[in-house]
Structure 1
């Protein structure tokens, strides 16, 4: 902090409001077995089934991304007659979370959900929407935040009858900004063999913002 000069600190706010242009289908498969290898193999078999089904509509193996993979030993507490509890090993639980992204096309989404509904792996499914040009959106936010701060600083200095001097510092935290739509759609109890589905909804615009703090000298 510079103490030998009169300064003004302003927080600039940048906001963007964009229509999502990317569909994300999140899915997960789970398996449980008292044999570690069998639990892992079962999850892998489910993954291969999903890849095979998606391959029938043009997706490649590398299009399906792993977002997380978890395996742990599961224990349940059993209540005994003497009012005590005993931990019992149930098996090894595996959860594999996956995502599939493609340009926004509701007809393509219909195809994806149709083939997944017929998949014997029966994955849990959520649908979301995102923005493809994240770098461009971030740049726009920072540019707007800078212009907003400069405009505020000039207004305040003009009202106080002082002159805005040189820029002394810029403080920015580089926090992660989400460019996914807040509304997500969960698919529950998809019927095996459901060959035709049709989605007719429009996601809300993606709204994102960030702040940057500027310090100017006052002349």
Structure 2
């Protein structure tokens, strides 16, 4: 009799556990994706300067002279001295290959000048025309980004679109599967998921190469839009 009671209790506990397990709600997880194109509002001028000299000190002095000349031209465009930043300075031995061997040929110094500015086509035009007549050797390029303010607005829009996309997918899946969507059980984003605004395609630096106008002046150009994406994971209870 005692054994029968113990067996009955064990069966009761097992059935109770199974009953609790069966009450666990079924869920549906959906990833919402979003993608938008944004016109950059921040321009970055990058000018690379190099100087060669047989003497170590003169290699640096010559680079400094070129840097001051380029900086002067930048100020003449309308920028302030505080806008001009120098980066990536380095000096190395200048080794050349001749007669099947490398030989020392002095020193090569280099650094970059970087200037950030609010993008306007007119500003690009001024920069190009100014440096088209420069006597100092340099390499000039532009990069285009978003200011923090525009980046925040873009991320808000991406999140709204990602959530809308997740909701739309969930409705289609539920309707096609014959189930009913319940309440949202969880939303994963950022550190708990691979979400976070990211640039998925960095387009060319500018759409149209600088072209000379009739009077010989160089016209500016319009940068391509930057493409950003984001995603969010939403879990619904289903019935």
Q: TM-score, normalised by structure 1?
A: 0.74
Flag the 1:41–1:213 CA change in 2: closer, same or farther, 3 A.
farther
The within-5 A match list for 1:111-126 is 111-126=126-141
Flag the 1:12–1:50 CA change in 2: closer, same or farther, 3 A.
same
Structure with greater helix share of residues: 2
1:119 alignment partner, SS class? coil
Higher relative contact order (CA 8 A, sep 6+): 1
2:48 alignment partner, SS class? strand
How many equivalent residue pairs?
205
After superposition, give the CA deviation of every residue in 1:96-128 in whole Å (9 maximum; x if it has no partner): 223323233323222212222333323211234
After superposition, give the CA deviation of every residue in 1:163-203 in whole Å (9 maximum; x if it has no partner): 24333341433667349962225989xxxxxx962315433
Structure 2 partner of 1:191 = none
Structure 1 partner of 2:9 = none
What is the CA–CA distance in structure 2 between the aligned matches of 1:60 and 1:178, rounded to whole Å?
Answer: 31
Matched, 1:59 2:79: yes
Matched, 1:167 2:181: no
What is the CA–CA distance in structure 1 between the aligned matches of 2:52 and 2:25, rounded to whole Å?
Answer: 66
Structure 2 partner of 1:177 = 198
What is the CA–CA distance in structure 1 between the aligned matches of 2:140 and 2:85, rounded to whole Å?
Answer: 14
Larger radius of gyration: 2
Flag the 1:157–1:111 CA change in 2: closer, same or farther, 3 A.
same
8 Å CA contact 1:179, 1:208 repeated in 2: yes
1:56 alignment partner, SS class? helix
The within-5 A match list for 1:88-167 is 88-132=103-147, 133-160=150-177, 161-167=179-185
Query: Comparing 10-19 with 159-168, which one deviates more in the overlay?
Result: 159-168
Q: Which runs of 5+ in 2 are unaligned?
A: 1-23
What is the CA–CA distance in structure 2 between the aligned matches of 1:34 and 1:5, rounded to whole Å?
Answer: 77
Q: TM-score, normalised by structure 2?
A: 0.69
What is the CA–CA distance in structure 1 between the aligned matches of 2:114 and 2:216, rounded to whole Å?
Answer: 22
Matched, 1:8 2:31: no
Please state how far the C-alpha of 1:53 moved relative to its aligned partner: 0.9
Flag the 1:157–1:93 CA change in 2: closer, same or farther, 3 A.
farther
